[in-house]
Amino acid sequence: MSETIFSKIITGEIPSFKIYENDYVYAFLDISQVTKGHTLLIPKKASANIFETDEETMKHIGVALPKVANAIKKAFNPDGLNIIQNNGEFADQSVFHLHFHLIPRYENDIDGFGYKWETHEDELNDDAKKEIAAQIQAHFE
């Protein structure tokens, strides 16, 4: 995997505002600060996306995510928190080093965050949903 801005942040070649670090992960303020406290959590073992990330690395991320989320909650008492992880250019991934955005949400704050979520539950009957589930299940090892 080629070097990314995040690998340079991990090594200190590019400065960052560190939030949390252990042997496996690094969390720092996102430069954009979509909302106050917007933080990125990245593994130190680089992989481009979730599809290329090993199970051990994900375990360390799973341990760190609630720690970082709770620190943000205690610091700023947001009304909610979005955790977002994009995979691939089509899904708006711009840095190809696995990363998780922790974006605090504030009820009366006009922030720079939003997304559109349209449901299609009325367009798919139970048989169609059963077939979709079976197609995914067939690919577990």
Supply the DSSP string of 43-62, one letter for each residue.
ESS--SSGGG--HHHHHHHH
The answer on pLDDT for 106 being more than 70 is yes
pLDDT in the model for residue 121: 80
- Predicted confidence band at 1 (pLDDT cuts at 50, 70, 90)? low
Angle, alpha carbons 7-9-13 (nearest 5°): 100
- Secondary structure tally for the chain: helices H, strands E: 3, 5
Task: For residue range 109-141, list pLDDT tens digits in order.
Answer: 777 777 778 888 888 899 999 999 999 999 997
Task: List active site positions.
Answer: 99
Beta strands in 8-98 (DSSP E): 18-21, 25-29, 39-43, 80-84
pTM of the shown model? 0.90
Distance between alpha carbon 21 and the CA centroid of its chain, in Å? 16
Count the alpha carbons within 13 Å of 72 in the hemisphere toward its beta carbon.
31
